[in-house]
């Protein structure tokens, strides 16, 4: 069974160093038993969450990691999520993040509560069928 849980201190440190991020970061990992399936790194400062990096082979698992991190940040008091990592933009568009403004550095953002109010894309349930 797939689980998305906070990373151990060792995993968090290793993934943070591998991605080149210094300072405090939060990390969630997706795994199936002992097999690692993906991870996400983010920071929360006050009402702002910054998505730093996320990786998973399966787009549905990436969506799950993003939603899990957004939920954790919302629970910690964040209201807005931002991301400057262009490889994540396609997945963030699906969630409802706004497009980068023309002439500004590539950055997407969203109201976290608004993302959860939208639900899942296409009205899919966890089994992938239309309701």
pLDDT (tens digit per residue) in 35-69: 999 999 999 999 999 999 999 999 999 999 999 99
* pLDDT at position 129 over 50: no
User: Which fold would CATH assign to domain 2-120?
Assistant: Aminopeptidase (3.40.630)
- The domain limits of the chain are 2-120
Distance CA(92)–CA(86), nearest Å, equals 10
Which pTM does this prediction carry?
0.86
Q: What are phi and psi of 116, to 5 degrees?
A: -75, -25
**Band (130; pLDDT cuts 50, 70, 90):** very low
Cα angle for residues 60, 64, 68 (degrees, 5° grid): 170
């Amino acid at each position: 069974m797939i689980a998305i849980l906070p990373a151990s201190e060792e995993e968090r440190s290793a993934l943070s160093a591998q991605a080149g991020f210094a300072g405090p970061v939060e990390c969630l990992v997706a795994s199936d038993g002992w097999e690692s399936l993906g991870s996400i790194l983010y920071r929360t400062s006050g009402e702002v969450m910054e998505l730093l990096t996320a990786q998973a082979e399966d787009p549905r698992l990436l969506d799950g990691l993003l939603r899990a991190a957004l939920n954790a940040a919302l629970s910690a008091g964040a209201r807005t999520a931002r991301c400057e990592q262009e490889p994540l933009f396609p997945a963030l568009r699906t969630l409802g993040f706004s497009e980068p403004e023309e002439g500004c550095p590539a950055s997407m953002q969203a109201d976290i509560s608004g993302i959860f109010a939208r639900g899942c894309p296409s009205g899919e349930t966890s089994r992938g069928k239309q309701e």
